[in-house]
Chain A
Amino acid sequence: RKEVEQDPGPFNVPEGATVAFNCTYSNSASQSFFWYRQDCRKEPKLLMSVYSSGNEDGRFTAQLNRASQYISLLIRDSKLSDSATYLCVVNMGVYNNNDMRFGAGTRLTVKP
């Protein structure tokens, strides 16, 4: 089983749509969870952290289910500017609390 697995995508949606990405992780001792956004040929940038109680940042909602080792990201009212690859990131804590492992990413294209 891969350390971090994501929906393979790609997702092609019209503007205004709601889209959800899913992610599972293998290490039940993992300590913290994140969603990063990566634009084409650029470095990953932090979109949001994921907290146990779930958290929201504008149109973005992240959920964590520790029992199922599952993370999700919901984007409401998609904008053209949301087109990017979304990376699920888990702090595995194998070596220390800086041990970040990435999923393969899910590509989103929002069309007019």
Chain B
Amino acid sequence: ETGVTQSPTHLIKTRGQQVTLRCSSQSGHNTVSWYQQALGQGPQFIFQYYREEENGRGNFPPRFSGLQFPNYSSELNVNALELDDSALYLCASSFFETGAYGYTFGSGTRLTVV
């Protein structure tokens, strides 16, 4: 059974650029949730994907968007990067029908915007 994998592990971008982060869900999981974790803070919910559709969204602007593919992997896209977007981006996969039990995180992508 493979775990959740995220790529890339680290990334440096310039303000105003666009970035795409990727997440492969754990085998058997069908839901992917994305979180932003700024330094010294807890993870903040960005959005969740289930059945290739957005299934809930936190307090993030529209320049944060995502996709889920038929194999349940997911992408997070951020346009017009701002310095405050610098953070650890975590994805978590789960099996929708069993709920929050079995939530599994990837090791994250550390994004630095300069």
Report the minimal beta-carbon distance from A46 to chain B, rounded to whole angstroms: 7
The distance in angstroms between the C-alpha atoms of A31 and B48, with both chains bound, is: 18
Q: Give chain B nearest CB distance to A95 CB in angstroms.
A: 3
Q: Which of B33-74 contact A (CB under 8 A)?
A: 33, 35, 40-45, 48, 50, 55-56
Is A94 located at the chain interface by the 8 A CB criterion?
A: yes
Residues of B contacting A: mostly: strand
Q: With A95-B55, A102-B42 given, is the CB distance from A32 to B100 under 8 Å? A: yes
Is B41 touching A98 in the complex (CB atoms < 8 A)? no
Contact B41 A97 (CB under 8 A): no
Is B87 interfacial (CB 8 A cutoff)? no
Taking A31-B99, A91-B99 as contacts, is the C-beta distance between A100 and B45 under 8 angstroms?
yes
Interface residues on A, range: 20 to 34
A99 beta carbon closer than 8 Å to chain B: yes
Q: Which residues of B contact A31 (CB under 8 A)?
A: 99-100
B94 interface residue (CB < 8 Å to A): yes
The answer on a CB contact under 8 Å between B42 and A96 is no
Of A14-22, A37-45, A56-64, A66-74, which binds chain B? A37-45
Given contacts A32-B100, A91-B99, A100-B92, 11 further A-B pairs with CB under 8 A are A31-B100, A41-B110, A43-B105, A87-B43, A94-B56, A98-B50, A98-B103, A100-B100, A102-B44, A105-B41, A105-B42
Which residues of A approach B to under 8 Å, CB–CB?
4, 6, 31-32, 34, 41-46, 49, 87, 91, 94-105
